Structures are given as structure tokens and as C-alpha cells.
């Protein structure tokens, strides 16, 4: 496993991080029980992963806590998060604090390494800073978490506007942001600033789009019809097959993880899975060399300047 330093936190982190959310919920979506998920967490740790990211709403924290029960707490960089705004309603500061405390209880720990204010958008940023931040800082002073982070809400904020506001104020230490081969604009908008200001980064939405071959085909075919993607590629069964043929990737997911892993400014590449074989495969990809310069250039030509491809639904290209 490769390791890096998470910005100004100084935390030594694995470049691969196990996420407790996403579509999989560590396999709980497919019916895996807490004991099986705990074994999955232990398997990830055995591979050298030391970043475990959770969330209050994921439903996996009890199982993760079970997997970490006999693990030296100092050997794991553990995070969780709580929404600032959910379904149009702003959470009160006391609710956020209660969520933090409940996450600590479920995870069986007295502190988190990082607590994220979750789903920050331009519409919620001011509320987060004026109402939530002063209260949550007091919890930090009590030792309930070491560093404060924020996560984006990618489908609602394709241009990283919420993160840009946060970088202006510099209240946070870590950002969780979206970046992938088809959604590249963090390269110009976010990463130069996070690196300059010493923020650590967790990268999400890396393989979600490319993991669904049908969605890739339909989205890029619709883009081709709208003259936003080469027609010759859009008509193929797999419009991105050059990633394997020319880039030497084992498959689409291998290409996605290698792409994100080697982007300057990307510290930890997050993925979620309840399947140990998938976890091992993802770790292998994240620790593999970068894609070729030729393939990176081609991806930039295809998707550079097109924020959010694969983040929003394909229907946006059929309006």
C-alpha cells in the first residue's frame, strides 16, 4: 500500500480509503449482516488501508465499529459526517452535535480523526459557518474530533462553488470532493487551491459512473446526439474502450481509480464495497502506475470543460 500525508493535518493516510456509504453500504444493501461487514473492514485493514470513512445516515457505523473493536485506534484514520441541510431543511446545531455523539457511540471510539460537515453547497455554506461552525468547534475543543472537514454535494454543485467559498474562508482542514475521468474540473477549480492552502483531500465519485456500462453507453450516446461527444465513439457499445485498448487498463474501474490516484492534489481515493475480491482489485488499481500521457490527453480532450458528466443523469443531455 502507498501512503501519503493528508495536507496540514499531518495524518499519514493510505491512498486507498474504504467508504461506508455509496450504493453498496459495505454490502449491507445486498443483505450482508454486521458480522460480515466487520470481516470486510478487517480484510481492508489487512491490505494496508487505514482510512475508514463513515456517515451518520449510512447505517454501517455499528458494523464498522465491530470491525475495529480490537484494532489499535491510532492505526486507523476514522471519519464520519452529518448533513448541514437535508431534504430542504437545515439541521440545528444541536442535531449535528447529537449526530456526532451517536456516531462516536456506534463506532466505539471517543474521538474521530475527521468530522465532516456533509453536503455543503453554496445555499448551505453561510448557515454552516455562522450557525454550525461555532458550536461544532466547541466539540472539537472537547476532543471529540481532531480535524474538521466538509463534503461536497456533487449533483447539486457541479462547479465546486461551495468548496470555493470554504477555501476563501479557510475554516476547514479536509475536503471530500468529486473527481473522475469524466468529471475533471476539480483539476482547475479545487486542487490548485487545496494544495496551496494545505488542505487534505478525499476523492469521491471516482468509479460510480464507469461501473455502469449501460449508463456510460446511454449517456455518451446522448451527448453524441447533442454534438457534445464524437459520434464515432458515441455509437460504440463501449465508447471508452480505448482506456483498455490504448491505456492498458484492466477494465473501466481500473482506469477510473488509476486516473484519480495520480492527480496532483488527490490524497485519498475512496471506494465502497462489501466484496473482498472487489476491494483487493480496487486497491491494486489505486496502487498501480498512472495511465499513459496519450490516454490522459485524450480524456482531457473529451471531457475537459464538461463538468459533471456521469454525476447527473443522462437525461440532462436529452432536454
Give the model confidence (pLDDT) of 72-111 as tens digits.
999 999 999 999 999 889 999 999 999 999 999 999 999 9
Position 317 pLDDT exceeds 50: no
Residue 301 within any structural domain of the chain:
no
Residue 300 within any structural domain of the chain:
no
CATH classification at residue 69 = 3.20.20.100
Give the model confidence (pLDDT) of 108-165 as tens digits.
999 999 999 999 999 999 999 999 999 999 999 999 999 999 999 999 999 999 999 9
Residue 252 within any structural domain of the chain:
no
Residue 137 within any structural domain of the chain:
yes
Phi-psi bin for 208: left (phi > 0), alpha (psi -120 to 50), beta? alpha
Give the model confidence (pLDDT) of 160-195 as tens digits.
999 999 999 999 999 999 999 999 999 999 999 999
Domain boundaries, position 109: 3-208+263-292
Give the model confidence (pLDDT) of 210-261 as tens digits.
999 999 999 999 999 999 999 999 999 999 999 998 888 999 999 999 999 9
Instruction: State how beta strands 112-120 and 89-90 pair.
Output: unpaired
Dig out the grid coordinates for 228 from the structure.
457534445
Segments in 4-144 forming alpha helices (H): 34-46, 61-67, 93-107, 122-127, 133-141
Segments in the chain forming alpha helices (H): 34-46, 61-67, 93-107, 122-127, 133-141, 161-169, 186-189, 191-197, 213-225, 231-234, 242-245, 252-261, 276-286, 293-303
Rounded to two decimals, what is the model's pTM?
0.95
Residue 27 within any structural domain of the chain:
yes
Amino acid at each position: 500500500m502507498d501512503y501519503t500525508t493528508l495536507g496540514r493535518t499531518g495524518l499519514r493516510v493510505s491512498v486507498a480509503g474504504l467508504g461506508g456509504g455509496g450504493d453498496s453500504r459495505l454490502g449491507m444493501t445486498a443483505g450482508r449482516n454486521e458480522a460480515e461487514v466487520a470481516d470486510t473492514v478487517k480484510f481492508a485493514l489487512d491490505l494496508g488501508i487505514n482510512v475508514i470513512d463513515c456517515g451518520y445516515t449510512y447505517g454501517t457505523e455499528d458494523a464498522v465499529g465491530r470491525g475495529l473493536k480490537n484494532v489499535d485506534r491510532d492505526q486507523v484514520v476514522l471519519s464520519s459526517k452529518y448533513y448541514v441541510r437535508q431534504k430542504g431543511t437545515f439541521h440545528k446545531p444541536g442535531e449535528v452535535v447529537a449526530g456526532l455523539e451517536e456516531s462516536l457511540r456506534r463506532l466505539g471510539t471517543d474521538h474521530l480523526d475527521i468530522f465532516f460537515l456533509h453536503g455543503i453547497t453554496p445555499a448551505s455554506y453561510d448557515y454552516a459557518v455562522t450557525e454550525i461552525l461555532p458550536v461544532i468547534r466547541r466539540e472539537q475543543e472537547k476532543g471529540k474530533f481532531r480535524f474538521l472537514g466538509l463534503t461536497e454535494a456533487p449533483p447539486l454543485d457541479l462547479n465546486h462553488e461551495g468548496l470555493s467559498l470554504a477555501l476563501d474562508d479557510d475554516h476547514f482542514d479536509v475536503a471530500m470532493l468529486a473527481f473522475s475521468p469524466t468529471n475533471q474540473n476539480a483539476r482547475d477549480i479545487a486542487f490548485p487551491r487545496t494544495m496551496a492552502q494545505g488542505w487534505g483531500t478525499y476523492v469521491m465519485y471516482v468509479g460510480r459512473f464507469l461501473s455502469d456500462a449501460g449508463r456510460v453507453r446511454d449517456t455518451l450516446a446522448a451527448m453524441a446526439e447533442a454534438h457534445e461527444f464524437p459520434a464515432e465513439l458515441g455509437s460504440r457499445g463501449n465508447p471508452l474502450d480505448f482506456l483498455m485498448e490504448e491505456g492498458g487498463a484492466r477494465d473501466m474501474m481500473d482506469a477510473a481509480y488509476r486516473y484519480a490516484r495520480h492527480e496532483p492534489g488527490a490524497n485519498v481515493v475512496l471506494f465502497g464495497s462489501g466484496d473482498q475480491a472487489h476491494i483487493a482489485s480496487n486497491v491494486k488499481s489505486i496502487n498501480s502506475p498512472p495511465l499513459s500521457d496519450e490516454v490522459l490527453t485524450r480524456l482531457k480532450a473529451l471531457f475537459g470543460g464538461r463538468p459533471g458528466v456521469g454525476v447527473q443523469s443522462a437525461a440532462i443531455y436529452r432536454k
